Chain A
C-alpha cells in the first residue's frame, strides 16, 4: 500500500507522478480531471449521496495535485494529466474502497431491517384500521394509499425515510379517523382500544429515540428518561384533547417505552430510527391538529383533509431528516 522511499519530493517528482497507471498521457489537450471525474462518477457503485461526497473529495485532491504540478511549469492539461497519473485509475480507486472497508453499495439504501420493520408497522396499522367503522375510515385509507404510492415512486431511491414518514402519517390519520367517528356532537374520547395501541406505538418510538442517544447509553437508567419524556408528552397531548389520561393508557405507554428503549439500545434500533421518528411526528402532529380543527369550527371532512395533508408532510420530513442523520454518520452534503 505505501511505497516507502527516502528522498525529496520534487527531486523525485517523476517517480511519484508515474505511480499508478495513467488514464491519459501527459500533455494531451482537454480536461483530464473532468474526464476522470465523469468516468469515476459512472463507475462508483454507491447511492447518489455517498457518490457525490466521494466525487467531491477526489476532485479536490486532483485539483490540489494539479496545482502543485503547475508550479513546476507544466501546462494546465499536462499538470492535470500528471495528477491523474499519480492518483491511479478509477478501477484501482474503487477496488481499494472495496478491500479496505470504505462505503459499500448498500450505504444509504434500504436494508432488510427496514423492510422487516415496515412489515411490523403495517401490521399495526391494519390492526388499528380494523377497529374503525368502515364508513369513517376512508380518509385514512385514502391517505395511506396516496403516501404509499409516493413512496413507491421510481424517482425515489431511498425508501427508508419515506416509508418512515408514511407510517407516521398513516398512524396519525388513523387516529383522526377514529376521533371523527366517535366524536358525536363534540370532542369526545376516541375508541379506547385504539388509544392503547396508539400509546404503545408512540411510547415505543420515544423509547427508541432515547435508547439511541449516545450519552444516555452510559446512563444507568435510560428507561427512566424514556418514561419521563414519553409520559410527559402523552399527558400534554391527552389534556389538549380535553380528556384525562387513564391509568391503563399510561401503563400501555410505559410498556411501549420499555420495549422501544430496549430496541433503541440494541443495534437494530438504529435502523428503525427513521421509522420511529416519522411515526411519532406524524401521529403527534395528528394529536395536536385534532383539537385545533375543532376549535376553528371546520366541517369534519374539511378538517380531516387539512390534517391529512399537514401530518403527511410533517411525517415525511421527520422520517427523511432522521434517516439522513443516522445512516452511516455521513457528513453534511458538500456546499454547492
Chain B
C-alpha cells in the first residue's frame, strides 16, 4: 500500500534541554543528559526521582497567543513548540486558520492537573473546563482558529506516531490541506506514582538498550510538526506508516517483538521502501528491561543481517509519553538535515550483537521512527528526504 508523500514543513520542541529543536540536538551532541534528580513531589510523599523536567527558564517565555497564562502547563508547553514550528515552516499563525487545516493532539493524560486537584479536594475547582485531552485539543484549535478536523489521539506512548499517521492519512486523502500535529505531556504525580507502583523507574539516568538498564525516567516535553502536501521536491517527508497491536499483555510487550516488527514492515511497505534503504532507526528505547529487549528482537527480525545505526533519546531527556513520538520525529528531521545519527546517551554496552548505538554519519535518506506503548500498541513512521533537501 503506497501513500502520497506528505511534507514536514516545520517542527518545534520543548524538552528538558529547553526550548527549541536545536537545544535538543546540541545537548545530545555534547553528551550532556538533561535528566536530573527532582524532589518536586515531596508534598505528595514521593521520593527524589530522576526525571526529565523542562527547565524553569522556559517558564519565562511567552507561548503562542498567551497559551497557558492561566496555569495550564500542557497548553503552555504546546504553545512554545507551535511557535517554533510556525517559524521554521515560514508560516504565520493565519496560515493555520480555516477549515482546510487539521489538528491532531498526541497526549496520554493531557490536562491531568484537573484530575489531581479533584482527587485532592474531592470537588471540582471553579470553572474547571480543561479535563480531557479533547478539551486541550479544543483549546489549541480555538487559539489557532483551526476549523478542520480536530482530534486528540490516545495510544499511550505510541500516540505521537499514531497522530502523525492520522495526519498523513488526512492529507493524502485530501481531507485537509495542512495539518498541525502536537504532542505534549507534563510531569505529574499521577503518572510518577503509577510507574513507581509498577517498579518501572530507574533511580539513575536511564540507559536505553544497555545491558545494565533498569528502568525509565519519567519526563515532560512538547513538540509540534506542521505537515502539508506539495508538488515541490523540498522535503523532508512522511513517507509511510504502520500500526499494530501485540495482542499479548496490557503492559508487558510481546518479547518476540512480532507486533512491532509487523508495524515496521507495514510502514516500510507503505513507504515503498526496503530495510536496506533505512539509514537510521529512532527507537523507543525506554531503558526498561523488557521494552528494549522486545525492540531489539523486532529490529533484528526486520533488518538483519545489517541493522542500521540506532538512536534513542530517552537516556537524554527521559520518557515524555505522549510527546515522545513527536519529539523523536522532530529529531529525525534534524538528523536528515545534518546527515548524522546522534549518540544514544546512557547506552554503554549492549547484550546483543549487530547493534550500533554510537553517533554515525547518516548514509541513507530514510529514517524509521517507532514507538510502543501500554495496551500493546506499536507504531512506526518512515521519514525521508529527497536529494534536493536541505536547500
Partners in one complex: no
B contacts, CB < 8 Å to A: none
A contacts, CB < 8 Å to B: none
